[in-house]
A and B are shown apart, each in its own frame.
Chain A
């Protein structure tokens, strides 16, 4: 139960951050967009600052709770490489990922984002089902 509350609070902070970035800079906090533009050298200052902040987040967590957040990786390295390629390519082709489509897109009731979220949830569920099917 408490873990659900903590998840809800963490989610609320993500929503707050996305709202803040729109109110102040007029930008949608979509991580694939921010990272993709940074790789292209577009608006380097603000995009780099956002990424530096993202990296600082877990450091602030460590300072507050004296332990690092759990990151448990079970996938093999070749699978990690394939997953990275698919995530990078797909999020750029689909114009967004869990943050841009999933947070601001849904909050704006954007039809494109609703389609995107339903699609990546479905294919994510499929991928995990295949993974577990192949392993068991």
Chain B
């Protein structure tokens, strides 16, 4: 169906706005991310404004989306099916947070800053992909 091409364009546009927002907000800078997590040291609260701004706009969007029966270009919304608070959620998030703090990168900024062509970012993304593939292959949950 022709919606497929439109979905690709929509994803490209959304990705570009996301990447630009990350660049504008300072989220691409690992030192600032670590400064935000450094609550016992020289705390830099600016990234709380990034999260605050993002969640505020998304909450407004959600109020609108809840009244939609389906997305404009797809048949249904893909909401997460799992609602349990289980060990993989907590342990996985704890592992993710450790890596986030140690390197100052989470997946979005790591991918976006590949554009700058810095070797450490390339290495980070390569090992991040290896971690993802290792999880998905050996602990096999998809999505």
Residues of A within 8 A of B (CB): 3-29, 31-33, 35-37, 39-40, 42, 45-47, 49-61, 68-75, 77, 79-95, 97-99, 101-104, 106-108, 110-112, 115-117, 119-129, 131-132
Contact = CB atoms under 8 A, between A and B. Distances in A.
A86 B131 contact: yes
Nearest to A123: B97
- Nearest 3 A/B pairs, CB to CB: A57-B19, A53-B15, A10-B25
Given A90-B98, A112-B82, 10 more contacts: A6-B24, A14-B53, A26-B78, A53-B17, A70-B29, A81-B123, A82-B99, A85-B131, A90-B99, A103-B55
Contact of A132 (B38, B134, B135): B38
Contacts of B30: 71-75
A53 B15 CA distance: 4
Contacts of A26: 70-71, 73-78
A130 to B, nearest CB: 8
A119 B53 CA distance: 21
A79 B96 CA distance: 14
A10 B15 contact: no
Q: Which of A11, A107, A108, A128 has the most CB of B within 10 A?
A: A11
A93 B49 CA distance: 27
B111 A71 contact: no
Nearest to B77: A26
A70 B99 CA distance: 20
Contacts of A72: 29-32
A81 to B, nearest CB: 5
